[in-house]
Each structure stands twice: as C-alpha cells, then as structure tokens.
Structure 1
C-alpha cells in the first residue's frame, strides 16, 4: 500500500468521521461502524470496527481470515470469548473500560455485552477486516452435507436453522421470541424416581 500511495496528493486523506460509515445496524443501540482503506485511503495495515451494544446483545460467532483483532472496551462491559484451536477450549475474557482482549488471526470468537451502552473498538492488522460469519456457515452449507457428515436427520437440521438469517452480525434478532429453557431431568434423578415409584 505505502509504495503506491502518493503522500503529496490532494486526494490522499488523513482524517475521517467513522460515524459516517455505517457497517451494520440492528437498532439505535446495537450497530457497527467501519473504518478501512476504502474510507481512509492513507491507511496501511490497520482498520477498525466501532461497535455499540446493549446488554445481552452478541456480535455473532465468526472469524477473521485475514487479520488478528484487538478488542478495546471504551464504555460498558463485554465478554470476549474465543475458541482456542490448540486446546479446544472456549476462553472467556470479561473486559471493562480501558481493558483489551486479543483474538489471534483465524480464531473463532464472539463478543457479548454485559452492560447497556457498551462501546467496543475492534482493531485489525489489515487494511480491511474480512469475516466469515457463523450465520453464513449455518445457512449456506448444504443441509445434506451437514446431515451426512454429522449423522443428523436432515429435516431436523433444516428445522433447527430455519430462523437463522445470513449475515446476522448482531444477535439475537429483534423479533426473536425465545422460550425459557425447560429443565431437563438428569439421569440419576430418573433412577431415584423409578426406584421410589417401584418401576
């Protein structure tokens, strides 16, 4: 980039208002602005996402194939969670103002706001952050491939992902009406009940 950029040209820009570059908007409290080389042509190997979230909103699971990501908390609070591909463990990093969490390039991760008015800055070591989203993987991988590969009933899989919208970015959806999870009986409890009832 630096080799082809003319730093004396009047068309080379050195400042930009990120508020004028919307990337994704769920609602007035949950949205993302972007700054990359397309917005500010003097950038080299840096870009950012300016993220605003309210409590329990999630930047959906995803990974960046071209960049590492440093998540800085400006206000509010969030938990940055990542899947460590070496340990196969989810690692959770709660961050509050002034704190950061680092996501290495290509690692599966997501951010959950744990307070209203959460403002995060995601900084990338690439001129534009590229992304592969969980919602896109779920919707665009053929159902018969998932069913065959993981020995899943294809119809059940299609039902399970029916409400998933491609390129979700921030979830849950505004029209999501999740039911409270029903408590599941544990196996030892069932054995106790069977014994008690003489079954």
Structure 2
C-alpha cells in the first residue's frame, strides 16, 4: 500500500455498503478491503435484525469472528467440533461471543432492533453458507452418501435459495411449522434449519 497515493482511503461510510437486505429491519452492511483499501487483517459485518430472524448457519474459512452486541439481544450458537455439541451464548449490549475460525455457527435475534457487529481478523469476511451447501451439493451425492431418497431430498431443499443470509422468509407462516414460537426462542433446543429466506438475487460475498 502506497500511503502517499491520492487513492489511499482512511475513512468509509458503512451504511453505503449493503451486503444483503431482507427488509428495512433486517439487513447486513459490509466493510472489507474492497471498501476501505488501507485495511489489513480487519473487516466487519454491521448486522441489523428483528426478533426471530436468524443469520443462517455458516462458517468463515479464513477468519475467526467476534460478535459484539450493540443493542437488542441475540443468541450466538456454535457447533464445537471437539465436543460435537451446539453451544448457545446469549449476548446483550456490551457483551461479545467469540467464534473460532472454521466453526459452524449462527445468530438468532431474541429482541427487535437488535444490532450486532461481527469483526473478523481478515481483510474480507469470506463465508460458506448453509444454504449454498444444501442447495448446490448434487442431490445424488447427498442421497448416496446418507442413503436417503433423492426425490425426497430434492423436495426438502426445494424452498432453499442460495444465498440466504437472513431467514426466515418474509412470507413464512409460523402456524404452519411444527416448532412453536417459544421453543424456537429456547437456546437449549436445536431443530436444525427450519426456516429459509428466499431473498432476491444476491451474490455470495466470497
């Protein structure tokens, strides 16, 4: 980096860099080296969520993530690859949860007007999304690997739209789901990935 160059950037308005937007209450802004060229091993996602919205299960292949709660409340859930257990960490303003590099995790807002800051030790917050894995892995591979019916797999994942980022869908009817409002809020219960957000065409941030 030539710090004497007139193209050198030292400031940026993150509100002008939206990664994905579900609606006016649920969206993610991004800051990486593509937005601010003096960044080195730091980047962030500026996350806004209303209650019951979830940052879909995913992992960051090249960075650890520190999730800081600015307002509202959320539960950060992490699959510990050593214990094979889902660990749930509720956070409120001023509290953080740390996600080691490469660990499968997701965040659920438990209050309206939740604002989270996800900070990464990498110049770009690269991500592998659960929706991409589910939808882009060939159905015949899933069927053969797990000895399941290929047609049933296709039917099950048909609502999934890569890349999802924020779920559930705007049109989701909770009454049509087997999981109650209360049980979904219970961080001690894990039901896999019950919701999907069919967002507009958004390129994954790789």
Same fold per superposition (TM over 0.5)? yes
2:141 paired with 1:145: yes
**Paired position in structure 2 for 1:193:** none
- Structure-2 change in CA distance of 1:182 and 1:66 (3 Å): closer
**How many residues are aligned here?**
179
- SS in structure 2 opposite 1:149? helix
- Structure 2 length-normalised TM: 0.85
- Structure 1 length-normalised TM: 0.88
Q: Aligned-pair distance for 1:126? A: 0.3
**Paired position in structure 2 for 1:24:** 20
Once the two structures are superposed, residues 101-141 of structure 1 have per-residue CA deviations (whole angstroms, 9 ceiling, x without a partner) of 00000000000000000000000000001100000000001
- SS in structure 1 opposite 2:94? coil
**Paired position in structure 2 for 1:77:** 73
**Paired position in structure 1 for 2:178:** 181
Pairwise CA RMSD of aligned residues?
1.2
Q: Residues 1-199 of structure 1 correspond to what in structure 2 (within 5 A)? A: 5-178=1-174, 179-181=176-178
Counterpart CA distance in 2 for 1:23 and 1:80 is: 20
Q: Which has the larger radius of gyration?
A: 1
Q: Identify unmatched segments of 5+ residues in structure 1.
A: 184-199
Q: Aligned-pair distance for 1:15? A: 0.6
Q: Identify unmatched segments of 5+ residues in structure 2.
A: 181-206
Counterpart CA distance in 1 for 2:162 and 2:75 is: 23
Counterpart CA distance in 1 for 2:40 and 2:179 is: 51
Q: Aligned-pair distance for 1:26? A: 0.2
Counterpart CA distance in 2 for 1:176 and 1:165 is: 14
- Structure-2 change in CA distance of 1:34 and 1:151 (3 Å): same
